[in-house]
Structure 1
């Protein structure tokens, strides 16, 4: 039961971060414009939210979902410039750092708090870079 709640908590935190990111208005240079205005980052977050939610009770699958999101965000960062690229890289780094030991599900709560804080900071940077 705790394992399911923990991974759901992480999924909810990540979905919240995605929602905040998705509300960012964008401008800036032409290469960043597509990243921001076309919301290219919304698909990786939507895919992650689906994978994370369906992984409830299986922390290994949750770890796989966060690793994929990190990779997707890094790939997107490679298509951006300046502050947008930095913000996307920061988001990727935040998700990449989440590796929950399936033998220690109690660590999931700590990971959720850390992820939410770091991802919120990176999301704010992305919103500012896209403004």
Structure 2
């Protein structure tokens, strides 16, 4: 599975966890529809779930005039994945994580999602 596909599946899994409170294993199985799993997909899903409090604190500290709970679920999930990658996945350059998050926002978010995601992640990049 390509990393971009793994990110899309991670977004779908984490969105499901956020909305329905499914367990990570169940959410991954649901999005894979009996297909083979992927190590990067699992790393993203389990990593974001495990580090969610730290990630959310970093996001809250960089959101101006917004609170995390008011963000669209898709945008919040994309931001969590990107921050996890930026902070905890050393082999991926920060710029790549930001670019991939912007692409996810264009694909799954609304018209302003990509600009919003870019702005927040750029601020976080400067603080890391």
Fold-level similarity (TM above 0.5):
no
TM value normalised by structure 1: 0.28
Larger radius of gyration: 1
Which structure is richer in relative contact order (CA contacts within 8 A, separation 6 or more)?
1
